[in-house]
Amino acid sequence: MAGKKLRFALFGKAFQDDKSTAIRRILDSLREREAEVYVHRAFYDYLTKVLNMEIGADGVFDGYDVEVDYALSIGGDGTFLKAASLVGSRQTPIMGVNTGRLGFLADVLPAEVGQALGEIYEGRVRIEGHTMIRLETDGEPIEGNPCALNDIAVLKRDMASMISIRACVNGEYLVTYQADGLIVSTPTGSTAYNLSNGGPIMVPSDRNLCITPVAPHSLNIRPIVVRDDARIELEVESRSHNFLVAIDGRSEKLVEGTRLTVSKAPYEVKMVKRLNQRYFSTLREKMMWGADQR
């Protein structure tokens, strides 16, 4: 470990007042290893102005204009998704520290940070590549990042009646969904919105995507799994003449007639996993998967 200088970018959820001790522990662990620390401005402002912490950061950044070796996401899975949208294209490996609730992506507990950082310095971690998907539109441009680590969903607006979504895969007509929405999920996102709508769990190493309807108005429509190199084209009709598209939960309004194409992004998100972390044990522990309460 001696002589090894590593640089870390820190992203965090603001407004986690009761987590200040955990955040302090993370910062102290980084300082002990003489790491260079760069903090995302929104998180830096929260730490210094709201929690009145002395950070001693080596730099503060707004977008993602820093050169670092690793990124640390401090919060829950939502914080991790936001970090991934910024660092993914730069291929910076992200470690998620869970100060939230469930923490499926943010899977390192604050008490384990010192040990996990030691494993990073010793090279005893696994770097996993996770598929991202990208949304393209033929009409209105998407304002934010068009790429998602978890899912891209097409949804009806507010109290509007169901929408009609004509779906094609690789140019071949699939079906027209009459539903409240449609989710295209990656394996990483299969345990999120996809699962709550009856979609299957897909192991992250699988090279698949799942197309899952939200509240379909037919009993014979089921989720379908396709290869992740597929091009999924969607056309939406709505009585309100507009609809929402949510990219990892960031929603934007689009007008009826906008043609949407969902396909694999040109890069993967790199995740830092400890060697003792196993996917199926995480499923059992975090999601009570397979638990028999009888």
Distance in angstroms (rounded) separating the CA atoms of residues 187 and 264: 12
DSSP code string of 156-188: --TT---EEEEEEETTEEEEEEEESEEEEE-TG
b/e per residue, 219-247, with b = 16+ CB within 10 A? eeeebbbbebebebbbbbebeeebbbbbb
Rounded distance between C-alpha atoms, residue 102 and residue 113, angstroms: 17
Rounded to a whole number, what is the largest CA-CA distance in the chain? 64
Q: Is 138 a catalytic residue?
A: no
Helices (H) and strands (E) in the chain, counts: 6, 17
State the pairing for strand pair 151-155/94-98.
Answer: unpaired
Cβ atoms of residues 96 and 73 within 8 Å? yes
Active-site residue, from 77, 151, 180, 228? 77
Residue 155 one-letter amino acid: L
Which residue in 91, 92, 110, 86 sits closest to 100, CA to CA? 110
Phi and psi at 255, nearest 5°, equal: -90, 150
Evaluated on CA atoms 53, 56, 60, 65, the torsion sign reads negative
CA dihedral 45, 59, 101, 248 (to 10 degrees): 90
Active centre residues (catalytic): 77
